[in-house]
Chain A
Amino acid sequence: MPRFMPFIAIVGFAVLIVLMNSMFIVRQDQQAIVLRFGEFTRVLNPPSRAESGLYFKLPFVENVIKYDRRNLGLTIEGEAFVASDQERLIVDAIVRWQIADPRRFYQSAISEEGGASRLNAFTEAAMRRALGSATSNDIISGRRAELMQQVEADLNASAATELGVRVIDVRIRQADLPNETRDGVYARMRSERQQVAGRIRAEGERDAAIIRATANQEAERLRGEGDGERARIFAQAYNRDPEFAAFYRSMRAYDTALEAGTPIVVPPDSDFFRYMQRRRG
């Protein structure tokens, strides 16, 4: 018995290796293809079928290549595009994609990285087609969603069959002006604000002037009212006896008008001095 122990151990170990080499798991978020001596035999758990789980294969003869089955993100960073109005735009985009046909994917790309880089090239080409025929305004605002749809459809027609992928969504993360243009935008924004500020200040000054002028107008009217009333009152009073009024008013005027020290030349025969040289007038 003890003499057979090493032999049993070796056989057991060999059986274990064979067993481990003939079983494999395809997880919920994976898909796989099985190759026999490099030749495709079957595909397991592709997105179109739900068949994850434990599988068997011929040991050593067949080998398994697993791919991700999930929705994957591919970022296209800061690519410069020229819009139909010749304006340059820097566009970042995100492509959401999935390996839909692992067999085709294996044939054309082998690894996920390889597939992603090929998809990148396809996407750039599709974007160039879509964005090149749109104006920069369309890309920045107006038809952005529509352009993304267009790129998506384009990719699904070209890359999808070529690479065995499905493009779920294309999103322009950012469609922006290059830095040089950006400074121009800032300058324009600043000048626009300055213009607004200037207008507001001028309007304030204008409104203030109008308010003051209106006030002065009313003030003058009030003063005129006062002056008119005054004239009426005097006329009413003086009209009782115009001759006496003239005399009376003259007296008051002499009294108030002549300053102290004003030289006054008076002939001795004036009314005032009537009795100066004669006892009796």
Chain B
Amino acid sequence: MRERFNMNGGGNGGGGPGRTGGGRGIPFPIIAGVLFVGWLMTGIYTVDEGEQAVITRFGSYNRSTGPGIHMNLPVPFEARQVINVTGQRTETIGFEEGANREIRDVPDESLMITGDRNIVQIQFRIYYNIKNAVAFAYNVRQPDLTVSQVAESAMREVIGRRQLEPIITTERAAVELSVEQLMQTTLDEYESGVQVLQVELLNAAAPPVVIDAFNDVVIAGQEASTLVNNAERDTARILNEAQAYREQVVRQATGEGQRFIAVHAEYRQAPQVTRDRLYLETMERVYQRGNLIILDQRGGAVPYLPLEGMVRRPATAQPEGNR
């Protein structure tokens, strides 16, 4: 009824001979013979590689035939159903595939509740074929729909036992395997003749309405790494600067120390002369640069001097006024 019975329409052949007998040109036996052979011919059929034919006699299962050319008794006696057995069949759950392979989400199927009471979007595909053509043909009504329903139910059960976080990250393969096993057990219990080949989890993610919050966690991770990386980079700079400072200070001190030792060595040779010379040379430079005011304080009270007027022009004017 719902199944695709390959009944060929040769049945009319049986009913008619009595009426067509009055023909003038062709004698009745020839017409009857042609119709009979034609009727018999409807029983010839071929089975392709990977297919199996199931033959019923008076509605009762009689035999199965494999690839090749075969014959069964014509219509009122036997009927056949050719089933593709090894061909991979597929069902999609949680989404629909459009003509251009574009994917459209089916929220009623794809949104599932997890064991920790979150909602996850699951889209998956199942591949199956037929391990028992007779069982597939006669045991379960609408076997394809049944496979799809069992798949969704199994997935929901598996998802309901797990936590959101692992589902969308590390446990995808485990989910696939559990669903496959659960499906196979159930379908075997129905004696459906179906062999589940693979459960392919195409999408396991947070639902679209909250996906931005999930993405923000990823972004936060990136930002945190950036901060740490920047700090690492600064560390190198800070340490190098400090090392530079240390080396600089030590070397300068060493240099200055050596300079002092050298001067001191000379000083020991002629202390007074060296001391005077150092003093005068230094003062020479200092006074040359500075704004020198010579003031005799022996008069007792310090006279008020309009310092401004006496101050030489500093820095820039210095060389002129000095020479």
Residues on A facing B (Cβ under 8 Å): 9, 12, 25-30, 52-54, 68-73, 75, 94, 96, 137, 140-142, 144-145, 168-169, 171-177, 182, 185-186, 189-190, 193-194, 196-198, 200-201, 203-205, 207-209, 211-212, 214-216, 218-223, 225-227, 229-231, 233-234, 236-238, 240-241, 244-245, 247-248, 251-252, 254-255, 258-269, 271-273
Contacts and interface: CB of A to CB of B under 8 A. Distances in A.
B318 A260 contact: yes
B156 interface: yes
A197 B228 contact: no
A265 B282 contact: no
Interface stretch (B25-33, B65-73, B82-90, B284-292): B284-292
A220 B242 contact: yes
Interface in B207-233: 207, 209-210, 213-214, 216-217, 219-221, 223-228, 230-232
Contact of B285 (A75, A255, A268): A255
25 contacts: A28-B56, A53-B60, A54-B58, A137-B117, A140-B117, A145-B157, A169-B186, A169-B190, A174-B156, A189-B118, A190-B210, A201-B223, A204-B220, A211-B231, A211-B232, A219-B239, A219-B241, A229-B246, A230-B249, A237-B257, A251-B278, A251-B282, A261-B290, A264-B286, A265-B295
Interface stretch (B38-46, B95-103, B140-148): B140-148
B224 A261 contact: no
Interface of B: 18, 56-61, 111-115, 117-119, 137-142, 145-146, 149-150, 152-153, 156-157, 160-161, 164, 186, 189-192, 206-207, 209-210, 213-214, 216-217, 219-221, 223-228, 230-232, 234-235, 238-239, 241-243, 245-250, 252-254, 256-258, 260-261, 263-264, 267-268, 271, 275, 278-280, 282-283, 285-287, 289-298, 307, 311-315, 318
B232 A255 contact: no
A123 to B, nearest CB: 15
Interface residues of A, dominant DSSP: helix
A96 B253 contact: no
A196 B217 contact: yes
Contacts of A27: 56, 59-60
B289 A260 contact: yes
A209 B231 contact: yes
A142 B161 CA distance: 6
A183 B251 CA distance: 70
B153 A171 contact: yes
Contacts, number: 300
Nearest to A222: B242
A245 B287 contact: no
B153 A237 contact: no
A233 B56 contact: no
A215 B238 contact: yes
A203 B224 contact: yes
Given A223-B245, A251-B278, A71 B190 contact: yes
B294 A268 contact: yes
Contact of A193 (B216, B226, B253): B216
Is chain B's binding surface mostly helix, strand, loop or mixed? Answer: helix
Given A208-B230, A225-B246, A28 B138 contact: yes
A144 B245 contact: no
B250 A71 contact: no
Nearest to B182: A145
Given A27-B59, A247-B278, 11 more contacts: A12-B18, A25-B59, A70-B138, A96-B146, A189-B118, A194-B213, A197-B220, A204-B227, A245-B260, A261-B289, A261-B291
Contacts of A174: 112, 152-153, 156
A81 B293 CA distance: 106
Contacts of B297: 267
B201 to A, nearest CB: 18
A4 to B, nearest CB: 14
B58 to A, nearest CB: 4
A251 B298 CA distance: 27
A111 to B, nearest CB: 15
Contacts of B291: 261-264
Contacts of A265: 293-295
A217 B311 CA distance: 49
A230 B223 CA distance: 43
Contacts of B280: 272
